[in-house]
Every structure is written in C-alpha cells, then in structure tokens.
Amino acid sequence: MYYNVRRFIGSPNFVVASATAAGVVGVVVSLFVSNPFTRVMPPLMLLGTAVGYLLRNEELPRYSRVRDPRPILICYCVVMSGAIAAFAANGFERTLGVHGLLLALYLLVALSIVVLDSTRTNLGLVVLTGVIHRGLIYYASAVQIGMDALFHNRAADAIATSGSMAPLATSKYWYAPVYHLLTASGVTVLGVDVRQAAFLLVTVTTTLLLVAVVYLFLEPVWGETVALVGGLLVVIADRTIFNAIHTTPTSIGVVLFGFLLLYAERYLDTGRTRFLGLFGLFLAGLVATHQLSLFVALVVVGTYVCANVFWDANVTRRGLTVLSVLVASFVLQTAVTDYSGPEGDSSSFLVVVGSVMIEHLGTVLEGTSGRPASKLPPGEYVAIAGADAMSVFHVAGSALLLALALAGSIYWMDRNEGETNRVVLGLGAGTTVACVFVYLLPLLGVSTFLPDRWQIFLYVILALLAAPALVTILTATQRRTRSITVALVVFTLVIAPYTALMIGNGAGAVDGPVFDDSPGADRLATTPEEERTYEFTVAHAGDEATIVADHVAYQMLNRHYEQPATSYSTSYAERGTTVSGEELVVYRGYAQTEHGSYYVTHEDRQYHVYGPLPGPNEEDTIVYTDGQDRIVWRSGS
C-alpha cells in the first residue's frame, strides 16, 4: 500500500492532479472573493500545469554555443552605460527610459546564458546586473528607502558611534544582532556612513550569495545552464529586489535560509559530516540574525526533511539529526529572547508571538476573522491596504513564477530517478506549506505570520523548480522547429513579461513603480522637496504640538530623523484626526493622491487604508510650502 502511494506521489500525475485541483478551487473561490490574487493565480496555475504536462517527455540536449564573449560583453557595456548615464542625467531618478534599459539588460543576460559557453562570464553578468539594478533603486531616493530599514540602520549607526550594543537593549534584536553588528563594522572599518555600509555589506553581498546558493543547488542535478537561469529568476523577482533595497535582518536571513536548504539536502544525500557542520554553521548564523527567518526555516526546511523521510519510508539518523537541530535552535532562540530586549518588561518572544498567533488562529476556527474589506464600510478612502489595494500587475509576476515552478515540478518528476524525485518532492512540499502562509491564511483574514516576509523565501524554492521548465521550453522549441532563432524568440517571449512585471511593480520598483495603477503601488523614495519638508518639520517642531503625517512620512520622521510623530488616523464616523490638541500636519503632495496611506478607526478596530490624506481644512494655517508639499498648523480636531 505504502509503495503504491509513494509511486503515485512521486509521479508527475500527482503534481498534475494536485495543481489542477488547486487551480479549479482557486477559480471557484475567485467567484466569491475577487482580488488580484484569486483572479490571476488560479488560471496561471492551470496554464503552468498544462505546459508541464506537455513538456514532461522532453529532453535537455546539448547544442552548439558561442565561445567568444566579446560581442555580448560589448552590447552589455553599451546598455549598462546608457542606463547609468540616463539615471544621472535625470537627476538620479529612474525614468521610463531607465526602466526600459534595465529590462533590455536583463534580457541580454538571459540570452547570454543560453547562447554563450562561459559559466563564469554568465554568472558574473547575472550578479552584476542585479547589483546595478539595485544600486539605481537604492540611490534614487534623497534618503534611505525603507521603513524597518530606517530603524535597523539607525541602530547600527548608534552601535558604531557608541561602540556598544546599548542601542538594542530595548529590542528583540539584542539577541539577534548580526545585521546591526555587520553594518556597524562597515561604518567603522570602511569609513562610510551607514547607508553606504548597508548597501556594500548587505545589498551587494546578499545579491551575490542568493544567486550562488541557487546555482549550487541546481548545478549538480541539471547542469550549468539551468543553474544560471535559476539564479537569474531569483535575482529578478520583485520581493528579492525589495528585500535587497530594504536592508534589514530579513535580507541576510533569506540567504542563510537558502544555504540551510542546500546543506540539509547535501547532508541527507551523502551523510557527510562536513555538510552537517556547514548546516550547523549557517543555522547558528540564522539564530543570531532574525527570529522570523528562523521560524520560516524551521517550517520549510523541516517540511523538506519530512518529505524526504516519507520518500525513504524510514526515519533515518540524518533526517532526525537535521530536524532535532532545527527544533532545538528555534526553541532556544525564542525562549531566550525577550520581545522588548533585556531592559524591557515584556515576556519571551515565544510567549508574546505565540499568544498573538493562537488568538488569530482561534478567530479563524470560530469563523470571526474575515477580511478587512468585509468589515470596513466604504468611505473617503480608495482601498484598504492589502490585496484590495493591488492590481493584477502586483501579482502577475509571482503567478508566472509559480506557473513555471509547477511546469518544472512536473518535468522534474517525469525523470523517474529516485534521488531527483526525492528532491523535487521535498521542494514541492516546502512550496505548498509556504503558499499556505503567503496566500491561504491572508485569504482567511490571518496576516499575523507576515505573508509579505514569507514571499521572498518562497521565491527561492520557486526559482529552483521553475528553471528547468524555462530551459526545457527553449530546447523543446528548438527541437521541433529546428531553429535556434525561433527558440530564442520563444524563450524571450516567456522571460520578458516575467521580467517587466517583476521589476516594474510596486515591490520591484519601490522608488517609483512603472505599474502604479493601483493605490498599493506607492512610491517609497524620498524626493529632495520631501527631504526639505522633513528637515523643516524637525527644525521647527516644538513640545506644544503633535506632528501628524501620512503613514510613509510618519515612518520617515520617526525612524530616520528620530522625530516623535504619529500616523494620520481618523474615525470613520467623524472628520479630523483622533489626535487631541495642537497639530502640525505634514501634507506631502504625493500623499494627496490615491497612493497616500493613513488609518481609519471603525468599531474599535483600526484599518490601514489608501487614498488622499483628508484635508487640509479651511481653518488650518499653512506654515510651509515647497512645491506640492505643505505643512499646516491645526488648532485641534
């Protein structure tokens, strides 16, 4: 009985049946809950399943390649120079032309991977393009881009200045200070400010290592071409870009997660102590880096190991060792960590977070959770933050990657090789569990697990599964048309939309999305005018008034300028803010568009919404103006 079940689960038919069922259920759900995720994901899942089924019997034959890299490198340098020159000429702003040149750069690298016979050159181009792209986004803002990143970099700068970890004494990151110590060391050793140190030591390094871990995982199984395509897919992904720009512990955590997955597989495969030692080393690094990333690793890598145990029909010492070390590390970290740091008065991280999770899961079981859009009546706002504030451009890139991953899973399963089937079964199981946290729980109204943070970890697995499918599409087209030109055109037609969607949406272009047709595609870069507005606010803020601003400006004032401020919050039933007394309200011109964000209170619950910031009112006094940005004095609400 067991072997019959195992034979079915280890076959492409299982993936086809499961993915088809999930896609059909998703289509049905979209009839009742319509948002970009439910409208786009299910059809593309069905499409990916169909493509995988058609490709399942294809081979990956070798074909002749170009050995002289000079033509490609010349074209690459011309396009790269054009992108950088256009960026500088437009006042360090990424215009539509710059976006177009970056798209061309990625497509040139994709073609180089499948045409040029030079692994080192192609690997270098993948990493270099990712770094250049991220650098242009990173420096397209007058000040550091980010929200959490502002806190982490300010803490790192304070550590560099004070020479101690005292700035983290009231934070849970006292127990996970790798990011802060690394960035602080960059400030001290390199002699640069914290923003430059974070870019050099976090953005650049994590981009390189993330490509490396995908390459190292895929190369022994599929060869260099598939491994390089996998690295390209992950470096293009929107959340990968987002986390490289928002330099936080998650940026390092996802890299450590990738190496944990890699060396867990290597140890399960070979049993070599060296790989177990490397697994332990990266796990220790993750314990000292980020609590959430450690939880993701526990869930996803643990699921991968459990799938391997099922495949082997035996709880081996190797699998038991990996699981035991994972669980012990998580319990130790969360039990030791005080949520508010050693000088705080909160309970342990495990108690605080665990109680919140249990409470939210309880609302699901009771049927009282619900999506925010079903509880807040229509008002002056445009949309509630989340899926309802997005458009199809936000999710189409992710959906394409998922579709390619399904196609790759089916093709991988059809190889009928025990060891490779064991690997793809583990990756598929990890993908399924991660999708529960990223897509299913938010659909039920549970966002406690921070689904956006999980998405970058999911992308790593999806890139591993999608790469074989993309290369197989190329080789299958070449075999059937007997034309490498036609094959390259088809290959480009597949990867070009994926690239354009990923690098142009709200997460992939945080400095100013190309696809900004929805409220949630908001710009997080700070313009020179906004920088001057913030500086005026800080210089003239007094103790007699509360500074109020939209959600993004409030974060900037609080976390970058260390200026106490509050986010604009209003009651659904009344006009004005919920702040009592004198107010100094910051009105960014951008916050007066549908991309502005603030909070609305309704029935004792606060909702994060998008829409023009209410006001200014007639009785307000304008005390500062710079272009479209204003600051007003309000005597009370």
Name the pairing type of β-strands 566-567 and 546-549.
Answer: parallel
Percent of the chain predicted with pLDDT > 90: 61
Q: How far apart are the first and last CA of the chain?
A: 71
Confidence of residue 543 (pLDDT cuts 50, 70, 90): confident
pLDDT value, residue 419:
63
The more confidently predicted of residues 385 and 131 is 131
Residue 417 confidence (pLDDT) above 70:
no
Averaged pLDDT, 131-142: 96
Task: Determine the average pLDDT of the residues in 370-393.
Answer: 74
Label residue 339 by pLDDT band (50, 70, 90).
confident
Coil, strand or helix at 42: helix
Residue-level pLDDT at 365? 60
pLDDT of amino acid 449: 78
Token pair listed for 495? 């990867």
Q: Is the pLDDT of residue 6 over 90?
A: no
- The three-state DSSP-derived secondary structure of 78-96 is HHHHHHHHHHHHCCCCCCH
Residues 6+ apart with CB under 8 A from 15: 49, 52, 406, 409, 410, 413, 428
Nearest partner of 242 among 505, 467, 41, judged by Cα: 505
**Residue 240 pLDDT class (50, 70, 90 cuts):** very high
Would you say residue 585 has pLDDT above 80? yes
| 111 has pLDDT over 70 | yes
In the predicted model, is pLDDT for residue 198 greater than 80? yes
pLDDT for residue 371: 56
Q: How confident is the model at residue 448 (pLDDT cuts 50, 70, 90)?
A: confident
- Asked if 300 contacts 257 with a C-beta cutoff of 8 angstroms, the reply is yes
326-332: average pLDDT? 93
Domain ranges of the chain: 2-373+382-504, 528-634
**Residue 420: what pLDDT?**
67
DSSP secondary structure letters along 115-148 = HB--HHHHHHHHHHHHHHHHHHHHTTSSS---SH
pLDDT at position 409 is 94
Q: How many residues does the chain have?
A: 637
Give 378 or 327, the one with higher predicted confidence: 327
Instruction: Give the model confidence (pLDDT) of 473-495 as tens digits.
Output: 998 888 888 888 898 899 999 99
Longest dimension (CA), the chain: 78
What is the arithmetic mean of pLDDT over 149-178? 92
Q: What is the pLDDT of residues 281-312, one digit of tens each?
A: 999 999 999 999 999 999 999 999 999 888 87
Nearest in space to 329 (alpha carbons), one of 175, 198, 225: 175
Confirm if 270 and 476 have CB atoms less than 8 A apart: no
Q: How confident is the model at residue 340 (pLDDT cuts 50, 70, 90)?
A: confident
Q: How confident is the model at residue 360 (pLDDT cuts 50, 70, 90)?
A: low
CB 237 within 8 A of CB 401: yes
